[in-house]
Amino acid sequence: MKWIPAVSKRTMFIYFTLLFLLYLFYALNSCLVDEKQFNIKYLILKRHISNYKSATVRFASLLGLDWSENKYRRLKKQNLVPVKRLPDALIIGVKKCGTRALLEFLRLHPDVRAAGSEVHFFDKFYHKGFEWYRDRMPPTLEGQITMEKTPSYWVTRSAPKRVYAMNPSVKLLAVVRDPVTRAISDYTQSASKRPSLPRFEDLALVNSTVGWGGAWSVVDASWPPVRLGVYARPLRRWLRRFPRSRLLLISGERLVADPAAEMARVQEFLGLKHVITEKHFYFNSTKGFPCLLKSESRPTPHCLGKTKGRSHPHIDPVAIERLRDFYRPFNERFYQLSGINFGWP
Ligand SMILES: Nc1ncnc2c1ncn2[C@@H]1O[C@H](COP(=O)(O)OS(=O)(=O)O)[C@@H](OP(=O)(O)O)[C@H]1O
């Protein structure tokens, strides 16, 4: 203990004061937080910072009255730790109308997080329960929207009731497209998996093997690619459970022709800040579709996958005309029910 007298009382006092201040700083456990509690990307991955230049930053003490709480719980209390939640919004359909494009475009928004693949909870896996469903969702911060898309919900009879049971105020989105093009797109997908599939015309029209334009050529309304284009029926089912204001119908054609304008409607509907604009898209003339300049997963320009925006086979114009005649009254009913004239020929 010979060294003690070498240190003056004054120096000891300074040392202890410094030590105490250090302890105090640790105990306060201060950290920088984004006041708008925006998102994991900003706080954790440190991406998209440019989007939030205006976000104010403050020191937030994590010191609460309950000293027993650890730092993780305090962060969680301030909603700074992402947790898995049931969806706030669902893309319920319609198959081959542009549902993937809509989801990928929405994912550009920092306040939207979505399950990557189709979950099929309300049609195939409902028996697994809501905990199973929640577990399929990406973690989100408070204020972020959790989403998933499964186009078959649109035509699943029990889906409206089941979705309502999960959350009666969930927001629903459905993309619709000219049912004739939709049917061809649906057929093209099947034909890509089964090259031996008969011609579209032979499946869409019955008794149509001899010459086009024969009076006997009738549309096979039971063939799924045709049946799915009768939008009025499923719409009526959804509207029995949900008010019209809770369902946004998106034009598949406009999503291709003017993605930014359509995404403005979508962001408005979801109560999101208008972050997705023209500057996110470019038109790829080779593909013939709008593509993304960058996204969450890729920093360089890219289009949706090979299976989106396929070229369609040539279809006999007479078969097209038959289908148009078939759909016309159903389309009219759909326009009436939805209150929107999509202007399909
Ligand atoms: N930006 C962009 N890029 C590529 N494709 C686009 C885009 N926007 C809409 N579409 C149209 O989306 C059609 C596929 O629809 P879905 O994504 O709903 O298909 S699926 O039901 O999930 O299989 C797809 O149908 P096909 O053209 O038959 O491939 C496209 O017409």
ipTM here: 0.99
The answer to whether residues 62 and 88 belong to one domain is no
In a domain, 15, yes or no: no
Q: Determine contact, residues 114/176, Cβ cutoff 8 Å.
A: no
In a domain, 16, yes or no: no
Q: Which residues are annotated as a binding site for 3'-phosphoadenylyl sulfate?
A: 96-100, 177, 185, 308-312
Q: What pLDDT does residue 36 have?
A: 35
C-alpha 162/C-alpha 152 separation (Å) is 14
| pLDDT, greater one: 75 or 64 | 75
The mean of the pLDDT values for the chain is 84
The answer to whether residues 68 and 89 belong to one domain is no
Q: Determine contact, residues 219/322, Cβ cutoff 8 Å.
A: yes
The finding on whether 93 has its CB within 6 A of some atom of ligand 1 is: no
Residue nearest to atom 28 of ligand 1 (CA): 185
> Domain range for residue 70?
29-81
The answer to whether residues 126 and 36 belong to one domain is no
* Omega prior to 94 cis, within 30 of 0: yes
Cβ within 8 Å of residue 182, ≥6 positions away? 94, 95, 96, 97, 225, 228, 229, 252
Cβ within 8 Å of residue 26, ≥6 positions away? none
The answer to whether residues 226 and 290 belong to one domain is yes
The answer to whether residues 61 and 164 belong to one domain is no
Residue 104 pLDDT more than 70?
yes
Q: What pLDDT does residue 210 have?
A: 52
Q: What pLDDT does residue 318 have?
A: 94
In a domain, 297, yes or no: yes
The answer to whether residues 52 and 114 belong to one domain is no
96 CA to centre of ligand 1 in angstroms: 6
Residue 338 sits at φ, ψ, to 5 deg, of -85, -20
The finding on whether 146 has its CB within 6 A of some atom of ligand 1 is: no
The answer to whether residues 127 and 168 belong to one domain is yes
In a domain, 19, yes or no: no
The finding on whether 188 has its CB within 6 A of some atom of ligand 1 is: yes
Give yes or no: 96 in active site.
yes
Residue nearest to atom 27 of ligand 1 (CA): 309
Q: Among 96, 171, 273, 306, which one carries the catalytic annotation?
A: 96
Residue nearest to atom 10 of ligand 1 (CA): 98
State the closest ligand 1 atom to the C-alpha of 118, by its place in the atom list counted from 1.
Answer: 22
Confidence of residue 14 (pLDDT cuts 50, 70, 90): confident
Give me the numbers of helices (H) and strands (E) for the chain, helices first please.
13, 13
Q: What would the two tokens of residue 24 be? A: 């105090």
C-alpha 212/C-alpha 208 separation (Å) is 7
Q: What pLDDT does residue 50 have?
A: 31
CATH number, domain containing residue 96? 3.40.50.300
In a domain, 288, yes or no: yes
Taking the model in full, what pTM does it have? 0.79
The single residue listed with the structure tokens 């960058």 is: 294
Confidence of residue 28 (pLDDT cuts 50, 70, 90): very low
- Condensed to tens digits (0 to 9), the pLDDT of residues 254-277 reads 999 999 999 999 999 999 999 999
In a domain, 205, yes or no: yes
The answer to whether residues 254 and 188 belong to one domain is yes
The answer to whether residues 53 and 112 belong to one domain is no
- Total residue length of the chain: 345
- The answer to which of 11-20, 82-91, 227-236 has the lowest mean pLDDT is 11-20
The answer to whether residues 55 and 135 belong to one domain is no
The finding on whether 100 has its CB within 6 A of some atom of ligand 1 is: yes
Number of folded domains that form the chain = 2
Confidence of residue 59 (pLDDT cuts 50, 70, 90): very low
In a domain, 21, yes or no: no
The answer to whether residues 129 and 189 belong to one domain is yes
The answer to whether residues 217 and 74 belong to one domain is no
In a domain, 189, yes or no: yes
Residue 27 pLDDT more than 60?
no
Residue 58 pLDDT more than 50?
no
Q: What pLDDT does residue 66 have?
A: 37
176 CA to centre of ligand 1 in angstroms: 11
